[in-house]
Amino acid sequence: MPGLQPVRGTHDLLPDDNRRHRRVIDVARDFAGRYGFEEMTTPIFEFTEVFARSIGETTDIVSKEMYTFVDRGGERITLRPENTAGVVRAFISNGLQQHLPLKYFYHGPMFRYERPQKGRQRQFHQIGVELFGVATPQADVDVIALGRDIIEALGIGDQVALELNSLGDGDSRRAYRMVLVDYLKRHQDKLSKDSLDRLERNPMRVLDSKDEGDRRVIADAPVYSDYLNDASRSFFGEVKSGLDGLGVAYTVNPRLVRGLDYYVHTCFEFTTTSLGAQGTVMGGGRYDGLVELMGGSPTPGVGWGAGIERLAMMVPALPPASRPIALIPIGAVAERRATVIAHDLRRVGFAVELGYVGNVGKRMKRANKLNARAAVLIGDNELQREAATLRDLDSGEQSEISLAALTERLARFR
């Protein structure tokens, strides 16, 4: 029955998956905090204009992939396909321009209607950071170094490489755009319909095309870096020098670009060959024109976003979950007392599994299935002596202990 299956492109995060997922979030949150980024959360849906304006009407995301609907109040609403636009909207609508510089970390679900692939779903999850109010190259260096630190801490640094490029300033972009348009018009008979449309509306977007015919044309297109002015070259030089000083390895990829005009200077991607065709695990850049485009005061910004699913798939096997203490009551009186004992143990930090039903044998089988570290057996007769039997489930050793000393005796099993 279709209704009993998850919607195509969504998936359940069962406990093992969730542990890897949480590992990515916890490591990212920890390192973001070390860099001074504070956590924030925006709504998972916004007015459609938030994304249409920031991502661009000519992009595949806006034209083909967004989950957009009209709500009961007649408003056009979109589930967020990415989070930078929402963070910028929050920055503007909460009047935060007076408190610059500001650093934000986020994580949460995003939504895009696209063909599900390995590591890419229609509901997926991202971590990300945004830094507002710093126009100097040091901000770029910081956010890239933070990304590298997170990747290293996850134990996947040897699987991921950093690619870097410069988009230059507005003057550089305009100079490149002119030669790019001239080149593309000379080859427009080989371009796809989508790219022909972009050529008229936003020619830089052609460079993002995945169409094979377009890719062959793009391969021989003029290289962006050849049209950077001195100021842009100097900015990029300082970014590279800063990364060199931190020992962050990178490769300059002159074909790495961002099609939207509000992107300037640094753009970067952390890529891998471990996930097949879906090679980018983290990507970002400087977007000094975005806040103004969305109605705020001109404000420099730089940040990145990363797919949690893709990172989690690469994380090495995690250590097993903490092993619980199995509490096994024997008899009606012990059943009632065990509930209180379990509660008291949990309050002081123990993970406790309480066998709810069954005889001793069934409850012990469940304790073994849960990989419990120790079992505490409580019978009605033992309770009369305020005692219990403690069994080490690894060694098989067992002894009678007083309930008053239970917490102390269990300490070695934490």
The predicted-structure confidence for 210-225, as pLDDT tens digits, reads as follows: 788 988 998 899 988 8
The pLDDT value given to residue 368: 87
Q: Which two tokens stand for residue 17?
A: 């998956």
Neighbours of 19 (CB within 10 A): 16
Please state which of the ranges 226-240, 254-268, 281-295 shows the lowest mean pLDDT: 254-268
- Name the pLDDT band for 306 (thresholds 50, 70, 90): very high
In the DSSP assignment, the letter for residue 117 is B
Neighbours of 395 (CB within 10 A): 8
Query: What does the alpha-carbon distance between residue 188 and residue 182 come to, in Å, rounded to a whole number?
Result: 10
The pLDDT value given to residue 238: 98
Q: What are phi and psi of 292, to 5 degrees?
A: -65, -40
The pLDDT value given to residue 57: 62
- What percentage of the chain has pLDDT greater than the value 70? 96
The pLDDT value given to residue 58: 56
pLDDT digits (tens, 9 = 90+) for 319-370: 777 899 999 998 888 888 999 999 999 999 999 998 767 788 888 888 888 8
- Name the pLDDT band for 247 (thresholds 50, 70, 90): very high
- Name the pLDDT band for 402 (thresholds 50, 70, 90): very high
Query: What does the alpha-carbon distance between residue 248 and residue 254 come to, in Å, rounded to a whole number?
Result: 19
The pLDDT value given to residue 2: 56
Query: What does the alpha-carbon distance between residue 15 and residue 110 come to, in Å, rounded to a whole number?
Result: 21
Torsion sign, CA atoms 18, 21, 24, 28: negative
In the DSSP assignment, the letter for residue 44 is S
- Average pLDDT of the segment spanning 205-212: 82
- Nearest of 224, 232, 226, 193 to residue 207 by alpha carbon: 224
Q: Which domains does the chain have, with CATH numbers?
A: 2-169+229-314 (3.30.930.10), 325-413 (3.40.50.800)
The pLDDT value given to residue 59: 64
- Name the pLDDT band for 199 (thresholds 50, 70, 90): confident
Q: Using alpha carbons only, what angle is made at residue 266 by residues 260 and 269, rounded to the nearest 5 degrees?
A: 85
- Nearest of 90, 171, 88 to residue 131 by alpha carbon: 88
Neighbours of 103 (CB within 10 A): 22
More confident residue, 79 or 382: 79
Query: What does the alpha-carbon distance between residue 344 and residue 356 come to, in Å, rounded to a whole number?
Result: 17
Whole-number mean pLDDT of the chain? Answer: 91
- Average pLDDT of the segment spanning 379-404: 91
Number of alpha helices (DSSP H) and beta strands (DSSP E) in the chain: 15, 16
Q: Which two tokens stand for residue 389?
A: 């039997």
Helix (H, G, I), strand (E, B) or coil at 3: helix
Tell whether the model's pLDDT for residue 278 goes beyond 70.
no
- Average pLDDT of the segment spanning 5-28: 92
- Average pLDDT of the segment spanning 181-191: 91
The region that residue 295 occupies, defined by phi over 0 for left and psi between -120 and 50 for alpha, beta otherwise, is left
The pLDDT value given to residue 111: 95
